[in-house]
Amino acid sequence: MPTKPTMPAVHADRYGPPEVLHIRQMPVPEPKANEVRVRILASAVTASDIFIRSAQVTPRLQIPFRLMMGITKPRQQILGFVFSGIVDATGADTSRFTPGDQVYGCTGFRLGAYAEYRCMPETDSRVHGCLARKPANLSHEEATAAAYGGLLALQYVEKGQIHSGDSVLIYGASGTSGTIAVQYAKALGAHVTAVCSTANIDLVRALGADHVLDYTTSDTPPPGARYNFVLDSVGGLKGSKLKEACKLALEENGQWVSIDDGDLQLSSQRLDQITTLVESGTLKPVVGAAYPLERIVEAHRHVQTGHKRGGVAITI
Ligand SMILES: NC(=O)c1ccc[n+]([C@@H]2O[C@H](COP(=O)([O-])OP(=O)(O)OC[C@H]3O[C@@H](n4cnc5c(N)ncnc54)[C@H](OP(=O)(O)O)[C@@H]3O)[C@@H](O)[C@H]2O)c1
């Protein structure tokens, strides 16, 4: 009997530090009638991957988290939340994609992007994720940052209903979502102030920020500065004196939005919007580092420092 083809895939035997991750050989999955199979060429280490691997959630969320993701170890055998690659097989009932199409997307609760192949339904869901045509002008590594950072940035910047000329502050402008949020707010006509540390000032200026505040050297925004909309794109766990001071600099009807408010929407329509914005040159995702799959532990250690620049990609 012929042996079934296998692929390398990253598992976590339990929740814990990066060292719980191991590469195993797994059977290559076969697409169901409603699925396409993607030969994954790049994934990434995102905030979501760190969160799931470490299970470091507040005590209040421990029980719901473990019911959803697995009681003693991640229920999903293969980890990984974001991917970019090429469709290599299609189920009988699929119609959106054909073999050879370059695609990118997120995997949802079923994870599975840290592997050579992943089957994806063509329709969006929180469980299975979302899939769209990849921007033609990006590498697969860059596409993972566009998918993850783009879905986060567009969803949360759009909450601000920004008008041309609005004064917008992006707190944490150097992460995967922050780098895209700066560019998107600029494209909407905002006057953008970006907050980052000293090492990333040149980066956020190059992305189009009109003003930069360094949270490691400034505790307050400039006198008289007022903001119509603030996006906290690093979430509640990362703060500074400057972040607190910025809350006092909101306009009377201004809006403060945290990227941790509510759930990330996994939408192929929004991925299509990101593809259009990237291909027109409006958005350019940032990838600060890339590691081969074999160095997944090192890549997780890097991201866990909390100081990555843009996205950290995994080449498969
Ligand atoms: N709502 C949802 O469903 C959902 C889903 C997924 C993710 N998220 C949230 O999205 C967030 C964004 O993830 P991301 O990948 O874009 O970025 P990230 O990994 O959270 O941010 C990395 C950047 O944060 C900067 N940073 C670190 N500490 C900071 C501080 N105290 N003040 C300001 N900046 C600081 C770092 O720059 P320096 O090195 O210069 O400090 C680094 O460039 C995650 O933290 C997660 O909470 C939400």
> Burial, 250: exposed, middle or buried (Cβ in 10 Å; 0-12, 13-18, 19+)?
middle
Q: Please tell me the predicted confidence (pLDDT) of residue 1.
A: 67
Backbone angles phi, psi at 236, to 5 degrees: -65, -20
Instruction: Choose which residue among 48, 52, 151, 234 to substitute to test ligand 1 binding: the one with the highest number of ligand atoms within 8 A of its C-beta.
Output: 234
CB of 154 sitting under 6 A from ligand 1: no
79-104 pLDDT per residue, tens: 999 999 999 999 999 999 999 999 99
184-222 pLDDT per residue, tens: 999 999 999 999 999 999 999 999 999 999 999 999 999
CA distance 149 to 286: 9
Distance (angstroms) between ligand 1 centre and the Cα of 30 equals: 36
CATH code that applies to domain 150-258: 3.40.50.720
Residue (of 89, 128, 84, 138) closest to 107 by Cα position: 128
Distance (angstroms) between ligand 1 centre and the Cα of 267 equals: 21
For residues 161-175, average pLDDT:
97
Six-digit token string for 142: 């860059």
Please report, as a single letter, which amino acid is at residue 223: P
Please report, for the chain, the start and end positions of each structural domain, with discontinuous segments joined by +. Answer: 6-134+286-315, 150-258
For residues 7-29, average pLDDT:
96
What ligand 1 atom has the least distance to the C-alpha of 260? 1
Q: Whose CA is nearest to atom 38 of ligand 1?
A: 307
Distance (angstroms) between ligand 1 centre and the Cα of 232 equals: 9
DSSP state, residue 16: S
Residue (of 162, 147, 154) closest to 230 by Cα position: 162
For the ranges 16-20, 170-174, 234-238, 257-261, which has the lowest average pLDDT? Answer: 234-238
- Identical topology for domains 6-134+286-315 and 150-258: no
What ligand 1 atom has the least distance to the C-alpha of 198? 40
Distance (angstroms) between ligand 1 centre and the Cα of 35 equals: 32
- CATH topology for 6-134+286-315 is Quinone Oxidoreductase; Chain A, domain 1 (3.90.180)
Distance (angstroms) between ligand 1 centre and the Cα of 31 equals: 34
